[in-house]
A and B are shown apart, each in its own frame.
Chain A
Amino acid sequence: MLTLALESSAKAASAAVFEDEKMLAFSIQNAGLTHSRTLLPMAEGLMKNLDRPLSALDRVAVSRGPGSFTGLRIGMAEAKGLCWALDIPAVGVSTLEAMAWGGPVLDGQMLCCCMDARRGQVYNALFTVEGGRPLRLTEDRAISVSELQSELVARQEPWILLGDGAQLCYNTMDRDEVTLFMAPEPLRLQSARGVGLAAMDKPAVPAGELMPAYLRLSQAERERLARMSE
């Protein structure tokens, strides 16, 4: 089964091609250029170098969020466009789960995946590792750093921090209360490699039904709800 994985939920964009669990090719770009320009040519280049036509793909995996609203939509619109044209299904993967899969997946480790969600919050999910696979301990959520610290303290384990919110948590949290390690840099951020790995045991769905999990309403909706509750 040939899978193209796309990741564009934050500053870097990446693409990977998997034959079942085996990653055949991977490409990443982190130069601040818009994903709208870089992501699709990356995917095209990988397939060309593999000497495989796009029509050989069986499915497309893509991070569905949380993350940059625009970044998520670029990746997902491309996944939908490819799937529509090839008439193949897609797999949407939690960005935080992809991050865990791409991280230091060593049995017994506790992984705290966090992305900076601004407004004093991180998008977060907690995982432990068993049998070389991340196991989910919480749902994806937007949570304040202090609330997250309380949860980490309560579980009485040392935690490995991942994601572009790792530094924020490391700097903000009281490290006398909880033991924290920053994941080594090459394993810290979400990538198409993690998306492809996380997608392996997930069912594919019709790509048209795929929707981002933004975990946050638009500003207009938030403000309207706030006005209504006043």
Chain B
Amino acid sequence: MNILAFESSCDETAAAVVADGRTILSNEIFSQVALHEIYGGVVPEIAARSHLEVISLLADRALEKAGLARADIDAVACTYAPGLIGAVLVGVNFAKSAALALDKPLIPVHHIRGHIAANYLAYPDLEPPFLCLAISGGNTMLVDVRGYTDMRILGQTRDDAAGECFDKSARVMGLGYPGGKPIDDLSKQGDDRAYDLPRPAVNDGNPYDMSFSGLKTAVVNIAHHAQQTDEALDKPGLAASLCRAVSETLVGRTMDAAKALGYRSIAVAGGVAANSRIRADFEAACRKAGRTLYVPPLRLCGDNAAMIGAQGYYEYLAGHIAGPDLNAYATMEI
């Protein structure tokens, strides 16, 4: 079954064709990073305008690279939540109109479910149940993946997402936007014990909930203090200390949950899964605890449409299809 999939929830416009939820036939991405860079973050209106400019072209390319004709498409999937509403709307309205005109089923896909499904593309043998940590610029959550379409949130951030913490920290350190990659690069030259950063604990109730706003504020304060006192800021040291703090929080919570729930398989998903410290720490922790780790390759960690096509296949098998009245939503439970 060939699914044509679209993703437009943030600052990447993407179209892809995926066969049977597991095989990528094409995966086209237009990144808007250059458009938003000068604003130091994603501007929702600019994002929505750009999606509409390029979406037809991406659909053309996805079909062309897959070597298929329109008649070979069996269903159309799209991200319908969560995300920047103006951005999501473009993909939803394009996709549902295309599905209607092609007379094929329309499959709405939850963006985070898509990130989790990126693992199905990378690991043909991976099947639920497993535990998945989904980490991106907008979300940080620990998900109990009981089935392809049966998921429970075990814990999530109470405030900022891990990616947001990296972006804001990069900003005060003058590293530009988006912050994940420059912080990761810089951290490799730094001492991860250079700064004593907090590990914000959430001790009231859910042991798997997280918080990153305190950590972000600590980094901002250190940077501002250095600026005001004219002290030299050890940027590589701060980047390394930050990566260590974020990683210890994420890896610690995830390994605790895997132990408590008895999961042998641990998956990581989302743009922040590209961070090399987090990947290395997960590898070490899983090796030590005798668990199998699944982390998608870098190109499938960030937003893409192939992951939407992968999850779309399983949503279709579960009967989750929509009509031409499908709407987009800024927020939605997984």
Binding site for B on A (CB under 8 A): 34, 36-38, 40-41, 44, 54-55, 69-70, 73-74, 76-87, 206-208, 211-212, 214, 218-221, 224
Contact = CB atoms under 8 A, between A and B. Distances in A.
B227 to A, nearest CB: 21
Contact of A81 (B38, B48, B57, B97): B97
A92 B55 CA distance: 17
Contacts of B70: 85, 87
A44 B327 contact: no
B90 A73 contact: yes
B272 interface: no
21 contacts: A36-B89, A36-B327, A37-B325, A38-B325, A40-B324, A44-B100, A54-B100, A55-B101, A69-B86, A70-B86, A77-B55, A79-B97, A81-B95, A81-B96, A82-B97, A82-B100, A86-B101, A218-B49, A219-B45, A220-B45, A220-B46
B55 A80 contact: yes
B142 to A, nearest CB: 32
B52 interface: yes
Contacts of B52: 73, 76-77, 80, 211-212
Interface in B113-152: none
A85 B92 contact: no
Contacts of A34: 327
A211 B53 contact: yes
**Contact-residue size bin, chain B (C-beta under 8 Å from the other chain):** 35 or more
B280 interface: no
B98 to A, nearest CB: 4
Nearest to A207: B56
Given A40-B93, A80-B56, A208-B56, A70 B325 contact: no
A80 B94 contact: yes
Given A36-B93, A40-B324, A208-B56, A73 B101 contact: no
Contact of A224 (B38, B45, B59, B97): B38
A208 B101 contact: no
B86 A82 contact: no
A69 B48 CA distance: 9
Given A80-B55, A208-B56, A221-B46, 8 more contacts: A40-B324, A74-B93, A77-B52, A77-B89, A77-B93, A81-B98, A85-B102, A224-B38
Interface in B46-83: 46, 48-49, 52-53, 55-57, 59-60, 70
Which of A44, A73, A85 lies at the interface centre, i.e. has the most chain B CB atoms within 10 A of its CB?
Answer: A85
Interface in B31-45: 38-39, 43, 45
Contacts of A73: 48-49, 52, 86, 89-90, 93
Contacts of B326: 37
B200 interface: no
Given A77-B94, A220-B39, A41 B45 contact: no
A54 B101 contact: yes
Contacts of A79: 97
Given A70-B86, A70-B89, A218-B46, A40 B39 contact: no
B325 A41 contact: yes
B97 A77 contact: yes
A74 B87 CA distance: 10
Contacts of A219: 45
B323 interface: yes
Nearest to A221: B46
A51 B103 CA distance: 15
A54 B328 CA distance: 23
A38 B323 CA distance: 11
Given A40-B100, A78-B97, A84 B38 contact: no
Contacts of B92: 36, 77
